[in-house]
Chains A and B, each alone.
Chain A
Amino acid sequence: MKIVVPVKQVAALDDDFELLGDGSGVDPDFLQLDLNEWDAFSLEAALALREGDGGDGEVVVVTVGDEESEEALLGCLARGADRALRLWSDECRDADPLTVARLLAAAVARESPDLVLCGVQSSDAVNGATGVALAGYLEMPHVAVVKQLDYAAAESAATVKRELEGGLVEVLKVRLPALLTIQTGINEPRYANLRAIKQAREKPLQVSTPEQVGLEAGALAAAAGSRRRQLRPPDRGEGAEMLAGSAAEVATRIVEIVRERMS
């Protein structure tokens, strides 16, 4: 069984971040990079399936990201992925989910996977859309927001639980090949040990341009779903009344407010 896991290196803002002068983005000095929380769970699901399958399957991680995102790929290789792909061209910086999905689709189609496991969402962009858009390009059956996954090798199908609002869960069956978007809590992602972290560098990590995965010039621009005009601070309405002072003063005020509101 071959499983492709698209993963993203996400950026979190420092507490004291600054915008670029023209408002088009965030000054990169203020970004903390990390593997997207959801993608740790989808990778773990893939690794567990490979192990359950007698271990002769293959787990391929793929990212659309610049050189810095290799950090995330190495982390995935250290946890047990077999191979990594990094796709990049400058057009992909701050790309919208359709652009990313279009590029992923070109690379993933060449792998002919049995299963594609995405995260439900990326913590920085919160599109919740790249996985299902990728399924659209690949014309692959898909289930979004999966919190349990049972693979039945004999039937080449999976029984999955889809998490709905309010904690309601739908149980459904889907045939493979399929794309699932994986929700947090589905498993307990493993850590990589030191030796594995060292060995990760020995594993194949291939870098490709859009052309190298078969996309024509202009294909990504045509796929792009939106254009970012501006990045601005949110409209916070009146905002909260901030409690100043020491922790002791804050605690005293909290108790006062609670007593007043609860009486």
Chain B
Amino acid sequence: MSDVLVIAETRRGELREVSLELIAAALGVKQASGARLLVAILDQEPERFAPSLSADGVDELLLVPTPTEHFEAHVSQRALEELIEAERPGLVLLGHTIDSLGFGPAVAARRGLGFASDVISLSWEDGPVAGRGAYGDKLVAELDFPGKDCTLLMLRPGTFEAAEADPTHPESVPTRSVELALDGVAATEHVSFDEVQESDVDITKAPFLVSIGRAVEDKDEIPRFEALAQRLGATLSVSRPLVDAGWMPSARQVGQSGKTVKPRVYLALGISGAVQHLAGMRTAETIIAVNTDPEAPIFGVAHYGAVADLFEVVDELEQVLG
């Protein structure tokens, strides 16, 4: 079997955790297929990440210097296309992350690759077999890629347990510098970063969160949930639609584009449990979910669940609390 190529991710001088998860997933394939495992680092100074990617089982680290300081989608796109051309991997693994979603699908389209995004399981049966959510994660679709010499899969972060690198033995994995013609390829110009704003409420420190979702439906209901949270001794957090609607500040948002929280108790009221929401709260110690839909994916991570109308439950909670 031809090689497995993992594309590591870096941002502002740091390696992103998903990179080691991709390596772990690739190691599974390597075991089943006998492939070699190559890990490419696309960065202005790729060599600085070599030690933290030197995990057991990685056969070679490809150091690909980029002309831009920060991620640039078209540079990554061209680099990956050229790597595929030169290395002829049978399988390419990327993270299902904002950066990689900015170029991975374009590479798959242009090169006619097998392709799937938001992949949550990966196995090998003469070729890759990938599982991904369907209908808002209420079902799983199992995919294969017949007739494709190369398949690009984008794996959901937090799904595969990260491999462990051994930075004390960087020499254990051979590195190779790959110089690609990437000057003039960028089609966007980085201006700046808007840093995350500090806020007076820090939901990441709260031991108990009452979290409300779109099912609340009405801005005027929010004070009621604030009062409920207060009486329970909790802090109020929300899913994204309430921030998008301008009802709550972004500092209260739990999820991929908001905060990652790990409270002792997370009480989710009327939140479906979309993947980007779960990304921010799935490691909470105890998750209690109230939702009218028995198939809501939130029940897949919850420890306690109730199929019930949240307003009826809140009426009763107010009674119980007196």
- Contact surface of A with B, Cβ cutoff 8 Å: 11-13, 15, 17, 19, 26, 96-98, 101-102, 123-137, 141-145, 159, 161-175, 178, 184-185, 222-223, 225-237, 239-243, 247-248, 250-255, 257-258, 261-262
Contact = CB atoms under 8 A, between A and B. Distances in A.
A255 B304 CA distance: 12
B188 A143 contact: yes
Contact of B135 (A13, A223, A236): A13
Interface stretch (B28-36, B37-45, B252-260): B252-260
Contact of A255 (B102, B113, B189, B321): B321
B189 A257 contact: no
* Interface size band for B: 35 or more
5 contacts: A164-B11, A225-B148, A230-B141, A230-B142, A242-B306
B316 A248 contact: yes
Given A132-B101, A144-B102, A261-B264, A185 B244 contact: yes
Contacts of B191: 159, 171-173
B130 interface: yes
Interface string B271-298: 0000100000000011111101111010
A128 B139 CA distance: 17
Contact of B106 (A12, A125, A135, A169): A135
B55 interface: no
B14 interface: no
Interface stretch (B46-54, B167-175, B193-201): B193-201
A239 B302 CA distance: 7
A98 B108 CA distance: 8
Contact of B98 (A96, A145, A229): A145
A262 B98 contact: no
B101 A129 contact: yes
Interface stretch (B57-65, B85-93, B114-122, B216-224): B114-122
Interface string B205-227: 00110000000000000000000
A125 B98 contact: no
B228 to A, nearest CB: 11
Contacts of B297: 234
A247 B308 contact: yes
Interface of B: 11, 70, 73-74, 77, 96-99, 101-110, 112-118, 129-130, 133-146, 148, 154, 187-196, 207-208, 232-233, 240-241, 243-245, 250, 253, 256-260, 264-265, 267, 275, 285-290, 292-295, 297, 299-300, 302-309, 312-313, 315-317, 319-321
Among B70, B192, B304, B319, the most chain A Cβ lie within 10 Å of the Cβ of: B304
B306 A243 contact: yes
A130 B315 CA distance: 43
Nearest to B297: A234
Given A144-B102, A240-B305, A12 B315 contact: no
Nearest to A145: B98
A165 B16 CA distance: 11
A262 B233 contact: yes
B49 to A, nearest CB: 18
A250 B290 contact: yes
A234 B312 contact: no
Contacts of B190: 170-172
Contact of B134 (A145, A168, A231, A240): A231
